[in-house]
Chain A
Amino acid sequence: MPGPQRPLIKVGISTCSRAVGAQETLDAVRKELADRGLEADVMVTGCWGLCYAEPIVEVAHPGRPAVLYGSLTADKVPQLIEGALAPDQVGVVPELALAVVGDEPLEGVAPLRSMEFFAGQERRLMANCGVSDPDSIDQYIARGGYAGLAKALGMTDEQVIAEVLESGLWGRGGAAFPTGRKWEFLRGAKVTPKYMICNADEGDPGSFVNRNLMESDPHLIIEGMAIGGYATGASYGYIYIRDEYPLPVERTETAVQQARERGLLGDNVLGSGFAFDLEVVRGAGSYVCGEETGLIASIEGARGMPKIRPPFPAQAGVFDKPSNVNNVETYANVPLILREGAAWYASVGSEKHKGTKMFSLSGQIQRVGILEVPLGTPMSDVVMGAGGGPPEGRSLKAVQPGGPLSGIVPASDVGIALEPEPFKERGMFMGSGGLVVMDDSSCVVDLAIYFEWFAEDESCGRCTTCFAGTRRLLEILKRISSGRGRSSDPEIMRLLADTMRYANCVHGQAAPTVVMTMFSFFEEELNEHLYNKRCPAKVCRELVRYEVVHHSDKLPEAEAICPTQAVVRENGSYRIDQGKCIKCDACREQAPYAIALVDEFGAM
């Protein structure tokens, strides 16, 4: 591809960058160019995954490597344009620059590879993310898109499945079931029509890898589904996107339209006689719609409740017809496998697990973002290395690997490989790739309360063991958190967890995981709550109180701000009236030196 003849400015527009003003940045870039009468192309791209550094603007001069500029809010645009495009300048603004898209430093700006965030990455699925325009099918095709589909159409359906089987690809949604095997089930189904369904109901808090793929490279998913349709005999597809994702819906719908116009979808895909079309369905907003049969029920227009198995989706899925449900990321792998071959695909990864996996980093971490690493990469490389670990002054406490039902990995185990087995051994799930990092300011009982609340609130209401079991766990956890825990509680919770495994779907079965991992890895902290009525992290509100521990000039301000007049002045000194205090923390904010949070025994 020949380089641009004019300077090219790329502005990443995605959900996360829009949240910090990327749209304004884009407008400002256009305005600034017009005002200055500068000649440059402006292009909208997807997202590099550098969420911590959004908005990101890339400036490329003909014949030179492009430079990425981070945190480029609209107010910095004049400086950027001035420095990077004004004719008398060098074309690089080092003080705003993040990295050079290339291998060599440029004007003191380090290359992308040297950034910790990019160091361990193997960007295959994300090859186009932040680079190309998601709304342009031409750019996708120019970068090798739909070659996989074309190649597949030249093979038999069995060969396609064999290729996928050989690659070792397994479902990225969390279940880790071999994709090729799943496709074989559907291929074997006698009833027609058959359906290919893409699960884009990414509901785990802290997971946003699918969103990034749909926003940055929607054609990759469409191509993967079309290949799947060809391999299994499915003639129609649904992409079920959660309604909270308006931008992915918009971009995917555009992409589907474009693919139809180019004959890449429709009655006669690429003139091969193979018919495949698909539509985008907007999810109705329930966590369990991310469970494949719940998703099927939702597509059918029914209440989003996971169904009873048997029958399995491959026998009777959507509208009682054979169906296959895969995650966005799973489908995204398929075109690459077909285009580059299974051997290439398996060239990275661990001994048992081949290929790459995308992860999103969030929580109490320095660099929030999305990255792609080979399977088997140590989690510490991702969390502590790329992500930079917890904020300064804090230490790592735990990582929640893939959704609220996946359990919590203690800091001591942060070095485990990112592949299913190490998680399974610990009674957890690797999940779909949302790594939520928690530092030592979190309390494990408080976390368990949140996760059980989430599991209870999102239960579909079918299984007693799920909606009543989570409720019981929640009640017991709340009791422990308020210092009223009983010595019999762990036993009851274990019995509950045992009983809850008899739920219909994985939501109910996995709901007690977090409690079980708490028993396995955080028993000491739990016992502190249970027996000593102490919350070591000082999070559980009923186990802590505010006290005046020093004198300070700020105390009158604390007295003034207290909404319940709990900061009392007596004989010139201050104390907190515990009966009045509602633990709102306002006083401590005013007088952090003088007022402290202490536990039951007055320990700070």
Chain B
Amino acid sequence: MAKLTLDGREIEAPEGAPLVQVIKDAGVFISNLCYIDDLPPYAGCRTCLVEIEGAPTLQLSCTTQIADGMVVRTDTRPAKDARKAVLSLILSYHADRCLTCHRVVKCKPGDTCLRDDVVTHRCITCSKNYRCELQTTCEMVEMAGFEPWEGEDRTYYELQQPESDRANPFLEFDPQMCIICTRCVRACDQLRHTGAITLAGRGFSTRIEFGAGGPVHDSNCDFCGSCIDVCPTATLMEHPNKWSATETERWAPTTCTSCSVGCSINLGTRKGRGVIVRPDTAANPVSDKQICVRGRFHYDAVKPKQRLSQPLIRRNGGQEEATWDDALEFTAARLTEIRERYGPEAIGFLGSPLATNEENYLLQKIARAVVGTNNIDSTAGAVARAAASSLRAAFGSEVLPADMTQLARSKTLLVIADDLESSHNVACLRCKDAVVNNGARLIVVSARRGEMCDFADVWLQPRPGEEAAVVAALADAVGGKAEPRPLSPQVAQALPAAVELLTAARDPDSSGSRPLSVVQALPHLGAQEAGATTAAAANLAVAALGKEAAGSLFVLPQEANVWGMRDVGATAEYLPGYHLTGDDSARKTLEQAWGAPLPTASGLTFEQMLSDDKLKALLILNDNPLFFAPAKPRISEKLAGLEFLAVIDSLPTDTAQAAHVVLPDVGAFGKEGTITSADRRVLRMHAATPPQGEAQPAWRILGELGTRLAQRLKIGELRLNYESPSEIMDEIAQLVPLYSQATYREIESGAQQPLNGLGPNKAEIQSVATIAAPADDGFTLTTGRSLYTSYEGAALHSPEADKLHREEFVEIHPADAKELGIAEGDEVTLKGISGELTIRAHITESGQPRMLYVPLYYDGGAVTALFEDGQASAAVEAAAVSG
């Protein structure tokens, strides 16, 4: 550490740090319009001039590195005057509508301009007004009294200004507001590794361009909005709600539930509606300053009025609005009736990875302690269960100590994911960080080409379904086993290069980098294959790293809270805290804690619940089988055959529409609670928006419903009513060691939780049952999460779900398209065993011949109709729609 004097104050700072950062951290204002924290200085704006003792002239604080004994003054007259003079140059080519208006002192935010004849440009014509860094800087630097070119015509008004680009639904680009600070260029390149923004032209014509200078959506921009965060003016703005966001009233820290990375975000609201999202750097350190297009824009995919606002009961051939009392009584009565007639095993419960830990916990508590059944699962259960069981076989535990902040420090990376960029965008970003900033070597196992492949040293492209075999072959080779596995030729060819990199990963390294990280993104469908791939990935980690393996294996579920569900017992086989339902002593402890007897019979998984007709009633919390579950026609039929179906959801999903009772929940941004990320961080969600109509948060609905059920079923003293989710978490903390420090009083949102004995206790190789690749003659259909479509929008079949319309296609390889006589945009019919789908074709080489890909979220999960139970891919027939 070096000692320096800043404006007469003695402070300490790391030697060599940029002075501007130190000044900012010390809480002293210094104008700087181009510096980005933690990136090398650009030194373009030249406004951060300070006086440094011994230096002949004023120095830029961004390019000055801290040295011991430095004496810095920011507040001298020459420094202040120089900063003003430089800033006045910036203002010469920027609109001054908000700065020079003589009425500006009289106006309040949101005032409509009275517009007298002197006021030609109005501050209210800029959507960054009142939240503009340039504006704030001008105020702080006291530009008001500094008018060196009094009576000057500003260059800005002398020139024809370029048109702004408002053609895409996410990002507005208004070049006339640009001050060429190039923060966006550097954020896109150095923080996101996307490089969609460039500096073009020269001299005064220097300008920012997306891609080759066309519209933003023609560039490779993927709308993460990182550039918006760093833009000091109104040049780059969110398109939705940008005017409303000018008057943001409240900021609520919460968590994005679009995937299992669990990015921390701040949601700004106005009049109870979300209007803006910014990354929340105070919580999850994995996301830190970065989120993706989903986190930033999907808050707005569904309008409040599209949400359920009233309980609904199926009556007179339709769902009719009902009071809460009626709906809850009706539900409790029906469940009681069915339990009495068929026994507790006839009732099933579906929790959801989209619900909070508290809600899932409460749901399983009702199932077990009130209804008396272990029939609790979700549509995401099968894949998670298969992966978890492979992890248990390898490490004796499914709770791994892996920490995603370490991804960026990896030296070697193996990414097993169909398209990590789309499914887990920020995790993918951290892998790219490792490649770009840490020189990591990257091996990608992916059937389709994703952006990750551009960063990869080796891309192994398996046939769909061949992933497990490929990873197993890698594990064998690294472990020194020479078990020949038949592999596709393109994989076999690239395999030795991958093996070489993985073997080299074990070499000792003094840089402090992590030797190897294995990242597996779990698919939505295909439990068996997912489990095999996880087993193979675990084998590889063990073969390469031995006892350290568990800390280097990252198994990322698709949906937000999959691991949390299992942690709190919302799964058939485990009580909260990973005690098997058959474990008598654990059950007794829980019975004591809850004060109610618990069932001994093992529970049904989701697939088992609907495999025969024994199940008569189903209570679904936030899950959506008609969206996510394969074999949709059969599921639909089964749900219709139930005597009673109750759904707790905030949206009228397909599943909710089939229900006898719908209990309106609030959306993710209206909830208090926690979710658990892929690397076991417990993340707080704070209610940012008020409930729509009479909707209630699910924990309250469950509490009320559970209480009524308990009364009817005459269960004794059992706590089901809580004042807040905080009290539920207190109870979870008692039962699940992993959450012992997650009570709302103690929780540090975003911190990894101590494993408290739940962690790995061995590192073993297991045998991997690889599945034979599908026969080559037919088409193999795969699906997965793509980047742009919002779940909530898709669940409503909203045409707005994919605002860019980038995912409303079946991807077909050019060779197949030629054979089928299909041109880009033609309609194609895909026929599976139990369903068919007509969709437009997108001809691309991102896949492989004989492989088709339809995004899972297309049209409310329409593609799941073509899949059979347990399949990761489906054999389909494809044909052009004639005419």
Contact = CB atoms under 8 A, between A and B. Distances in A.
Interface of A: 286, 303, 308-310, 456-465, 467-472, 475, 486, 488, 492, 495-496, 498-499, 501-504
B201 interface: yes
Interface in B697-730: none
A459 B89 CA distance: 15
Nearest to A504: B43
The 4 tightest CB contacts between A and B, nearest first, are A461-B206, A499-B85, A468-B89, A459-B203
Interface centre among B44, B60, B86, B155 (most CB of A within 10 A): B44
A467 B204 contact: yes
Interface string B49-82: 1000000011010010100000000000000001
B90 A310 contact: no
Given A308-B41, A471-B155, A475-B155, A465 B86 contact: yes
Contacts, number: 96
B92 A472 contact: yes
Interface in B1-46: 40-46
Given A463-B46, A468-B89, A475-B155, A499 B82 contact: yes
B49 A502 contact: yes
Contact of B149 (A303, A459, A492): A492
B89 A464 contact: yes
B207 to A, nearest CB: 8
Nearest to B185: A303
B46 A458 contact: no
B851 to A, nearest CB: 37
A467 B44 CA distance: 10
Contacts of B86: 464-465, 499, 502
B204 A303 contact: no
Nearest to B63: A308
A461 B43 CA distance: 11
Contact of A461 (B58, B65, B85, B199): B199
B93 A468 contact: yes
B44 A463 contact: yes
Nearest to A500: B89
Contacts of B63: 308-310
A459 B204 CA distance: 8
B180 interface: yes
B204 A310 contact: no
A544 B829 CA distance: 78
Nearest to A286: B202
B512 interface: no
Given A495-B85, A498-B85, A471 B93 contact: yes
A310 B41 CA distance: 11
Contact of B45 (A457, A461, A464): A464
Contact of B89 (A303, A462, A469): A469
B821 interface: no
Interface string B199-216: 101111010000000000
B756 to A, nearest CB: 46
B148 interface: yes
Nearest to A288: B202
Contacts of B43: 308, 462-463, 504
Contacts of A504: 43, 46
Contacts of A468: 89-90, 92-93, 155, 204
A269 to B, nearest CB: 33
A475 B46 CA distance: 21
Interface centre among B41, B65, B92, B151 (most CB of A within 10 A): B92
A472 B203 contact: no
Interface residues of B, number: 37
A308 B46 CA distance: 12
A146 B311 CA distance: 95
25 contacts: A308-B40, A308-B42, A309-B63, A456-B203, A456-B204, A457-B204, A458-B202, A460-B202, A461-B206, A462-B44, A463-B43, A464-B45, A464-B89, A465-B86, A465-B89, A468-B90, A468-B93, A469-B89, A472-B149, A472-B155, A486-B151, A492-B148, A499-B86, A501-B57, A502-B58
A461 B155 contact: no
A394 B1 CA distance: 67
B90 A464 contact: yes
Contacts of A495: 85, 148
Contacts of B203: 456-459, 461, 467, 470-471
Contacts of B182: 462
Interface centre among B155, B158, B203 (most CB of A within 10 A): B203
A502 B199 contact: no
Interface centre among B46, B57, B82 (most CB of A within 10 A): B46
Contacts of B148: 492, 495
Contacts of B199: 303, 461
Interface in B135-160: 148-152, 155, 158
Nearest to B152: A492
Contacts of A303: 199
B46 A464 contact: yes
Nearest to B33: A464
Contacts of A310: 63, 65
Contact of B46 (A459, A465, A472): A465
Contacts of A488: 150
Nearest to B179: A464
Contacts of B82: 499, 502
A123 B41 CA distance: 46
Contacts of B41: 308
Given A463-B43, A502-B58, A472 B89 contact: yes
A482 to B, nearest CB: 13
Contacts of A463: 43-44, 46
Given A286-B202, A456-B203, A499 B89 contact: yes
A464 B41 CA distance: 15
Given A310-B65, A471-B155, A492-B148, A502 B204 contact: no
B465 to A, nearest CB: 42
A503 B151 CA distance: 26
Given A464-B86, A468-B90, A457 B202 contact: yes
Contacts of B85: 495, 498-499
A461 B202 contact: yes
B163 to A, nearest CB: 21
Interface centre among A303, A310, A471, A486 (most CB of B within 10 A): A471
Nearest to A503: B46
Given A457-B203, A459-B203, A468-B93, 15 more contacts: A308-B41, A458-B203, A460-B206, A461-B201, A464-B45, A464-B46, A465-B89, A467-B204, A469-B89, A471-B204, A472-B155, A475-B155, A492-B149, A499-B86, A502-B82
A291 to B, nearest CB: 14
B34 to A, nearest CB: 9
Interface string B105-132: 0000000000000000000000000000
Contacts of B60: 502
Contacts of A467: 180, 203-204, 206
Nearest to B91: A468
A469 B45 CA distance: 12
Contacts of A465: 46, 86, 89
A503 B43 CA distance: 9
Contacts of B152: 492
A308 B59 CA distance: 13
Nearest to A508: B46
Contacts of B89: 464-465, 468-469, 472, 496, 499
Interface in B447-492: none
Contact of A462 (B42, B47, B150): B42
A503 B44 CA distance: 8
A38 B540 CA distance: 84
A464 B204 CA distance: 9
A2 B45 CA distance: 65
A492 B60 CA distance: 23
A492 B149 CA distance: 7
A503 B199 CA distance: 19
Contacts of A469: 89
